[in-house]
Amino acid sequence: RKEVEQDPGPFNVPEGATVAFNCTYSNSASQSFFWYRQDCRKEPKLLMSVYSSGNEDGRFTAQLNRASQYISLLIRDSKLSDSATYLCVVNMEENYGQNFVFGPGTRLSVLP
């Protein structure tokens, strides 16, 4: 089983739609979680950290479910500018040999 898994998509949604991405991770001792977005041919940019109680930033809501070992990202009222690849990032324990693990990314296309 891969350490961090995401549905690669692509998710093609119309403007204004609500879309949700899930990400699962294998190490139950993982400590911190993040969502990044990466535009084509650009570097990843931090979108938001994910806290145990869930957190919201404008149209974006992140949730963490430690029992089931998954995190989610919900985007409401999608904009054309939301089109990007969304990367789930899990900070795993040091003894796994790799601290920060990136998922393969989920591609989102918001259509006019």
Partner 1 sequence: GAVVSQHPSWVICKSGTSVKIECRSLDFQATTMFWYRQFPKQSLMLMATSNEGSKATYEQGVEKDKFLINHASLTLSTLTVTSAHPEDSSFYICSARQGRNQPQHFGDGTRLSIL
Q: Which residues bind partner 1 (CB under 8 A)?
A: 31-32, 34, 41-46, 49, 87, 89, 91, 98-100, 102-105
Q: Minimum distance between the CB of residue 18 and partner 1, rounded to whole angstroms?
A: 25
Of residues 44 and 110, the one with the C-beta less far from partner 1: 44
Q: Minimum distance between the CB of residue 67 and partner 1, rounded to whole angstroms?
A: 21
Q: Minimum distance between the CB of residue 47 and partner 1, rounded to whole angstroms?
A: 10
Of residues 50 and 110, the one with the C-beta less far from partner 1: 50
Tell me the β-bridge partners of 49.
34
Buried b (16+ CB within 10 A) or exposed e, 67-95: eeebbbbebeebeeebbbbbbbbbebeee
